[in-house]
Amino acid sequence: MNNQSARKTRHLLDPELHSLADAPDVTLTVEMLPQYREQRKAAIVRADYEALGVTCEEVRVPLTDQPDVRCLLYQPKERSGMTAGYLHIHGGGYIGGSVEASDLLNGLTVSKLGVVLLTVDYRLAPENPIPAPLDDCYAGLAWLHQHADELNVDRDRIGVGGESAGGGLAAAIAIAARDRGEYKICHQHLTYPMIDNLTGTPGHEGDPLVGEFTWTREKNRFGWKSYLGDAPAVAPQVPSRVESYENLPPTWMFTAALDLFRDENIVYARRLLAAGVPTDLVVYAGACHGFQQVPRTKLGARFRADHLSALGRGLSLERES
């Protein structure tokens, strides 16, 4: 998709986000992945932990027959008593991204909510297709539960969430945790999650008004092909293929009107609701994939407020004003 075709829905995009419409499109290939990853890494802005009143340290989570999983552990500097835990999974289409890229929002989340947050630097595809990314993230959930006492975390108030592919992995963790019965999850916090491998494939192109900015159909096909490898598209790795939605955790489902994932997110939320799962569904008009990464926009500020409020409710935390 070139910039000319992307301009077809430019008039529907919030004016503060037009920089995303003007950005050159990149065709993802295995050969250019190192460059793509380095470009994303170079754009990272880290949080000011001192100003936020939080700490951030690297921890290593053991994994059977594999190297330890690198994670970042965020904690509030000052707190009293037990708090909640939040397992965060970063985005990047299953083929990119890093824990540092979510540093600003994760630092803010810990500062405002007083939650203990663990974010997982999971292995990326295509070098590490399924089940590797989910194994890494599930190990993070296990570590958070196993260290709950020393972290002063209430095991009954541990949630999981993420953005894009991170949201997809969070949904997959929720399914795996339910089916394995090992660790309780009280809330899943899904920001335009990448959960259906069919989106953007022949016969499943979807609404032409979505998917023209940031994450396109072409990128989505590449991401899913890299992630699945030769494996079948089944749950939990592909959450939309799950047979039963019953007993999944209460959910905050966020999506955007121009996001390629909009309709798969709405369908997933509807199925959760039909299964009796308490579910909030939020859709922002004028927004597209990655919109909240554009600095100093009204939609970005609105998202951060909604994110904090919903996560506070999901983890039974009182949000600071």
Ordered by start, the domain boundaries in the chain are: 3-314
Catalytic residue IDs: 164, 259, 289
Q: In the predicted model, is pLDDT for residue 66 greater than 70?
A: yes
Does the pTM of the predicted model rise above 0.85?
yes
Averaged pLDDT, 16-45: 93
The tens digit of pLDDT for each residue in 235-281 reads 999 999 999 999 999 999 999 999 999 999 999 999 999 999 999 99
Specify the pLDDT at position 7.
62
- Written as six digits, the tokens of 107 are 């630092």
Which sign, positive or negative, has the C-alpha torsion 61, 292, 198, 282? positive
Q: In the predicted model, is pLDDT for residue 3 greater than 50?
A: no
Specify the pLDDT at position 6.
43
Domain 3-314: CATH architecture, name and number where available:
3-Layer(aba) Sandwich (3.40)
Averaged pLDDT, 94-121: 97
- Per-residue burial over 179-194, b if 16 or more Cβ lie within 10 Å, else e, is eeeebebbbbbbbbbb
Going along 199-266, which residue ranges are E strands? 251-256
The tens digit of pLDDT for each residue in 115-134 reads 999 999 999 999 999 999 99
Averaged pLDDT, 31-60: 95
Q: In the predicted model, is pLDDT for residue 5 greater than 90?
A: no
> Percentage of the chain with pLDDT > 90?
93
- Mean pLDDT for all residues in the chain: 95
